[in-house]
Amino acid sequence: MKAFWLLVGLSAYSSFGWAVTYGELLPNVMAKLPETQQLSDYQALSNANRQAADSWIPGEVELNLKHENDGLTGDQGFRSWEGGATFPIWWPGQSGHQSAIGDGYQQQTQAGQAQLALMASKQLRQVVWQAKKAAMRLKFGRKNLQQTQALVDLVQQKVDAGESPKFDLLLAQKSLYDAEKRLTQLQADYDVALQHYQFWTQQTELPSPLAETLVASAPELDSHPDVQSLAARQKTEQARLDLVEASRHSNPNLYLAAKNERDDQTADNNILIAEIRIPIGSNPMAPTRIAEQRQQLSQSQMALARVKQQLEMDQFQARQSLQAAQKNETLAAEQNALAEEAMRLAQTAYQEGETSIQNLLQMKQQYFEDKLNFKLARLNRLEAIANLNQALGVRLK
């Protein structure tokens, strides 16, 4: 049973090879994000608005057919046929505003790609460091089991030699049972972390190099993908407002037609007709539409302001977390050095009969906790660097 757990722990920990990079894993994570569909939607909106702006008419064409005769009012042989088309025409500036909406959606598409990469980077960073720390805990759980087994063997020898009471052996065996139970839980935690990592990356290997380098200079807040995405949205809403305001009046209509008239006394008469119809006054629904669009613009402006405030807070918190992680790593290193010396002295004292098995077991537990905390403190510092890069808007590459 003990050998089985040693093999399981070792094989689980070593399943993380060092062959892939963050850049190779990122596309798999991006493909899993639901926001991917939004990019194609933005692109479709951009294309549709630009095509509409390039059209020389802003609406549908109506076909008009008309026939007149005097068959019921004298029957003098009068006949008239008229065929034409009515179509709306742009007010000055309308097509430009329509094109600006398309440009806004195009910017949202481009900014959305950077934002999606940053979202994927955040998810990848989370699952990588969860898996790495779970693997580290599993490794130390395996080592703890191995050392506890060695201690049980030592106590067994001392009991057989009459140097220690059987009660010491019972305590050591109980400690071994606790170590096996602990390893079972660590294995389960590791399996969950590995499953999450596999779900997002389709891989079992952690990226190499694992540690990130802190960006040399903090990027400007306005260059953050979240800010650029909302700024593009604000531009789109502004263009929409400009279009709505330019559409206070219904669009003029142009009517082009050809007409043929004839009767029994005269020859056929062919006529070309050009007619323009200009609405008088404004659409009574225009103020409502303008107010609604102003509300949409205000919402985008407030969202942009909130994101900037949140990013400043996140960046400050990430810097503080990194400073705390650096201090904790220094303290953990000092504690680890003390734990190694204390464990050496405790082992010597027990072998010479100068301390009890209880003290040795307590010292062993504290020793492994300090060793694990030292390793985790280093990982926490590296994770804090990754989190600060994330807060600054630095995507994985």
The DSSP secondary structure of 133-152, one letter per residue, reads HHHHHHHHHHHHHHHHHHHH
Interval 223-255: pLDDT, tens: 999 999 999 999 999 999 999 988 888 888 888
Residue 323 belongs to some domain of the structure? yes
The residues that bridge with 78 in the sheet, in sequence order, are none
Q: Is the dihedral of CA 49, 52, 53, 54 positive or negative?
A: positive
Please state, in angstroms and rounded to a whole number, the distance separating the CA atoms of residues 103 and 45: 10
Residue 380 belongs to some domain of the structure? yes
Residue 52 belongs to some domain of the structure? yes
Residue 379 belongs to some domain of the structure? yes
- How many domains in the chain? 1
Write out the residue range of the structural domain in which residue 335 sits. Answer: 2-57+107-248+287-391
- Specify the CATH number for the domain of residue 325: 1.20.1600.10
Task: Number of helices (H) and strands (E) in the chain: give both, helices first.
Answer: 8, 4
Most confident region among 53-57, 126-130, 261-265 by mean pLDDT: 126-130
Residue 154 belongs to some domain of the structure? yes
Single pTM value for the model: 0.81
Residue 370 belongs to some domain of the structure? yes
Interval 9-40: pLDDT, tens: 434 443 444 468 999 999 999 999 998 888 88
Residue 64 belongs to some domain of the structure? no
Interval 28-82: pLDDT, tens: 999 999 988 888 899 999 999 999 888 888 888 889 898 888 767 767 777 888 8
Which carries the bigger pLDDT value, residue 286 or residue 107?
107
Of 146, 223, 212, 153, nearest in space to 179 by CA: 146
Please state, in angstroms and rounded to a whole number, the distance separating the CA atoms of residues 266 and 20: 90
Interval 281-314: pLDDT, tens: 777 788 899 999 999 999 999 999 999 999 999 9
Non-local (6+) Cβ contacts of 233 within 8 A are 104, 108, 300, 303, 304
Q: Give me the pLDDT at residue 54, please.
A: 86
Please state, in angstroms and rounded to a whole number, the distance separating the CA atoms of residues 141 and 138: 5
First-to-final CA distance of the chain:
43
Residue 42 belongs to some domain of the structure? yes
Is omega for the bond preceding 279 within 30 degrees of 0, making it cis? no
